[in-house]
Amino acid sequence: MWHIQKINPVEKILDAKYITFVGAGGKSSLIEYMVGQAINKKKKTVVTTTTKIYAQEPYMLLTGKTGQDNTSSGNPIRVGKSIVDGKLTAVNFDDILKLGKTFDMVFVEADGAKGKPLKYPAPQEPVIPPFSDRIFVVAGLDSLLGHIGEKVFRWELLLEKKGLTGDEIISSELFRLFFTNEILLKGVEREICTIVLNKFDALVQRQAALEIAKAIILQTGVESIVVSSSVFQIFYEIRQLNP
C-alpha cells in the first residue's frame, strides 16, 4: 500500500543543523526555497558549498570581505572561500562546522551538474560533509525522453563505465539506474537520505513520476521519495506502508 501526501519539506528538517544537497536537476532552486521557508520559521540560515555556487548577494568570504548585510533584508547569507568567475569557491569541513556555531541551519551544496538534470560523479564527487544531518539527493524528471549526451553531466563516464554512447534515450528504466551507490547515491547514508525527483511539472504524463518514485523506493529501500516542482513550490511525499 502506498501513501501520498502534500508536504512542506522544511518541516521535516527544522531540527537539523547541517543539510547537504547532491545530484542534479535543480539543487540550487530547491535550496533557495528551503532556506526561505526556514527563515520564515525564524531560523538563522547560511548557504555554503564544497564545490561552487553563484556569488549572489548577500555573501561573505572567509577572508572577511562581505556583500550587503543579510539581517536587514531577511535573505540568507552565502559563504565561500573566494570568488572565481562570479562563483563562491569551496569551503572545507572545518569551515562548515564553524558556521554551525553561528547559524541555526547550514545548507551545503556539495555537488555540481552544470545545469543538467542528471549526472555521473567524477571520482572526487560528491564532497559530502561527514557530519551531515540530512542529505537531499536531487534528480530532474525533465531528463526523461532526452538523450544521455544532452541531459547527463559527465555522460562520458557512462561510456567508460557502462558502455553507453550518449545517443540513448532516457527511459523510466534508464532513469532509475542512476539511483545506485555508484552514481547518485554515492557516499550517501540511506538513513539520512531524502531522494527528490524534481521538475515533475515538465512531464506530459505526470502519473509517470509516481510510478518512477515507487520503483525507486523498492529498488533502493529508502523510506520515502519526494516528487516536486520547486519552481511552483509543490512537494508530494510518496511512502510505502506495511512493505
Domain 2-44+105-240 sits in CATH 3.40.50? yes
The amino acid that residue 165 corresponds to is T
* 217 close to 232: Cβ distance less than 8 angstroms: no
pLDDT tens digits, one per residue of 150-182: 999 999 998 888 888 888 999 999 999 999 999
**pTM for the whole structure:** 0.92
Rounded to an integer, the average pLDDT of 69-75 is: 45
pLDDT in the model for residue 65: 52
DSSP letter string, 95-162: HHHHHHHH-SEEEEE----TT-SEE---TT-----TT-SEEEEEEEGGGTTSBHHHHEETTHHHHHHH
pLDDT tens digits, one per residue of 169-219: 999 999 999 999 999 999 999 999 999 999 999 887 888 899 999 999 999
Residues 6+ away with beta carbon under 8 Å from 85: none
